[in-house]
C-alpha cells in the first residue's frame, strides 16, 4: 500500500468512515483496536460539539432539549467531510439540519442559517416556512422549555432580511 492510501485509511478510521470494513493492513488493524483511537475520536467529537454549539446556538439547544444533539453531531461528522473552520462547520451542520425530516428542526436550522448569513453579509432575504408559531418556538428554545406543538390550522413564515428593523418578521399564512 502506498503512503497516500495508508493516510486515507487512517483518516477514514479516525473519522469513523470505514463502515463495516475491517482493515486488511496489520498496522491499520492495530490502530483500529487501540485505546488511542477511541480517545482521539472522543477529543475530535468534543471539539466538533464545542464549535457547533458556539455557531449553531438555537439548533443546538433544540437538539439538546430533545436529547439528540450528541448523536446528530456524531452522524453528521461520520457522513460528511468536516471542516476544521468553525464557520464552514456550522454552515454545513445547519444545511444538514434544514434537510431534517423533523419540520421543527428544519425550520429552526433554516432560520438560524438565514439570520447568520444576513448578519454576516448585511444583505439577502430568506423565507422560512413553519408549522407552528416561530415566536413561541424561539422563546421556548431560549428558555429551555418544550417547544409548542404544530398548529394544524395555521402556517407561519419568517422573512429574514437585513432591511427589516428586527432582522426578521413573522407572517401568518393560513
Tell me: pLDDT of 19 over 70: no
- Angstrom distances, CA of residue 28 to CA of 2, 17, 80: 13, 14, 21
39-75 tens-digit pLDDT: 988 898 899 999 999 999 999 999 999 999 999 998 8
Question: How many CA atoms within 13 Å lie on the side-chain side of 156?
Answer: 19
For residue 25, the model assigns a pLDDT of 79
For residue 14, the model assigns a pLDDT of 78
* This prediction's pTM: 0.84
111-159 tens-digit pLDDT: 999 999 999 999 999 999 999 999 999 999 999 999 999 999 999 999 9
Tell me: pLDDT of 23 over 80: no
Q: Which of 80, 102, 75 is nearest to 91 (CA)?
A: 80
150-174 tens-digit pLDDT: 999 999 999 999 999 999 999 988 6
The domain segmentation of the chain, as residue ranges, is 23-172
Amino acid at each position: 500500500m502506498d503512503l497516500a492510501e495508508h493516510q486515507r485509511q487512517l483518516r477514514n478510521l479516525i473519522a469513523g468512515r470505514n463502515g463495516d470494513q475491517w482493515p486488511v493492513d496489520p498496522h491499520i488493524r492495530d490502530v483500529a483496536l487501540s485505546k488511542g483511537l477511541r480517545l482521539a475520536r472522543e477529543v475530535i467529537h468534543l471539539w466538533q460539539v464545542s464549535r457547533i454549539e458556539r455557531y449553531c446556538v438555537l439548533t443546538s439547544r433544540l437538539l439538546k432539549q430533545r436529547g439528540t444533539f450528541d448523536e446528530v453531531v456524531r452522524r453528521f461528522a461520520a457522513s460528511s467531510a468536516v471542516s476544521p473552520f468553525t464557520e464552514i462547520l456550522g454552515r454545513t451542520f445547519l444545511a444538514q439540519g434544514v434537510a431534517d425530516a423533523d419540520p421543527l428542526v428544519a425550520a429552526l436550522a433554516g432560520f438560524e442559517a438565514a439570520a447568520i448569513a444576513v448578519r454576516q453579509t448585511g444583505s439577502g432575504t430568506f423565507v422560512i416556512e413553519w408549522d407552528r408559531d416561530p415566536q413561541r418556538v424561539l422563546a421556548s428554545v431560549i428558555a429551555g422549555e418544550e417547544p409548542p406543538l404544530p398548529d394544524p390550522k395555521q402556517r407561519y413564515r419568517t422573512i429574514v432580511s437585513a432591511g427589516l428593523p428586527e432582522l426578521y418578521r413573522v407572517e401568518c399564512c393560513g
